[in-house]
Amino acid sequence: MLNPEEYSDLRERMQSLDDGGLMRVVLLFQDEYKPEAISIAKEELRRRGLEGVTLEQLIEQTPEEYYNFVPDFCPGCIAETTDKSVGKLFHFYNIGFYLIGDGSECDICGSIIQRIWFLIFIPIYPGSKYRVKYLEPGFFHGKFVSRRLK
């Protein structure tokens, strides 16, 4: 339970968020906030006349914002790919499998097209192309999700 000063600070922080920020708190990140914060955010949305906004409406209004926060691909990228993922890439120093390329970035979800390559210091053998969305920094070693192009 929050004391009055903490509650007041939390209310101020929630009131300072823009509409999209409040909707993200309520619709996308409920598990990451205390129940009091969710309650205050819902109350602020009600006060702003945005009480009944759904996740689908949020995605429709600001798809770029939604896809920046979740590891999902947009419907367009899903349509041009299969469910097959690259999986875990094995490499040791400059020998092994790497995703290379930075072509065709999606304006909505931010994924890029990359090709899997086998390297022995230089690219030797090309594999399939994938839509890749990096979840953590690190072009060669970051976490990512991928879908194979059709």
Please report the DSSP string for 19-65 in residue order. Answer: HHHHHHHHHT-GGGS-HHHHHHHHHHHHHTT-TT--HHHHHHH-HHH
pLDDT score of 70: 61
For the chain, which residues score pLDDT lower than 70?
55, 58-59, 61-71, 136-142
Q: How many CB atoms lie within 10 A of CB 53?
A: 17
pTM for the model stands at: 0.57
Annotated domain spans of the chain:
4-63, 77-148
Phi, psi of 42 (to 5 degrees): -65, -40
Starting from the edge strand earliest in sequence, which strands make up the sheet with 112-120, in order?
91-92, 95-103, 112-120, 122-134, 144-148
